[in-house]
Amino acid sequence: MNFDEIKLKYENLQTIPPTEVTLSFIDEMLDNSEVPSGNRYEFANLIFELMSALTDNYARITDEQSVKIISWIEKNWCEDDISYTDLQVSIIANTEESLAKNFIESKISTAKNSQVREMLEEVKDELS
């Protein structure tokens, strides 16, 4: 499934899809997560919106999905665009807690941008 097919499928979902549908679609997205760099923000935003839909259903992503999401963000990490970084950090904050803490701590120690470091510190404090 390419990115255009992912977007089309997302657009055809219900406003708040059932939990099973949302989890399944997140898996599909993560299995097809090689997206052109120009679509990284949009891909990340779709993941975030799906995670938010789960929250509306009082559900969360699985631990396995947390691992895959963190892996995708690690591969696509970019501090050059603050809004994209903010989105990435928001997604990480909603993954499995110990994985999120480890990721955040590793990025704090390597952050080149002071604004990004502050954002990461805030999330680290929220997770503690």
Q: What is the pLDDT of residue 31?
A: 95
Separation between Cα atoms, residue 98 and residue 62, nearest integer Å:
13
Taking residues 39-63, what's their average pLDDT? 95
pLDDT in tens, 59-111: 999 999 999 999 999 999 999 999 999 999 999 999 999 999 999 999 999 99
What pLDDT does residue 48 have? 97
Q: What is the DSSP letter of 64?
A: H
Burial of 78 (0-12, 13-18, 19+ CB in 10 A): middle
pTM over 0.75: yes
pLDDT band at 15; cut points 50, 70, 90? confident
In the structure encoding, which two tokens stand for residue 80, read together? Answer: 């050059």
Q: What is the pLDDT of residue 95?
A: 97
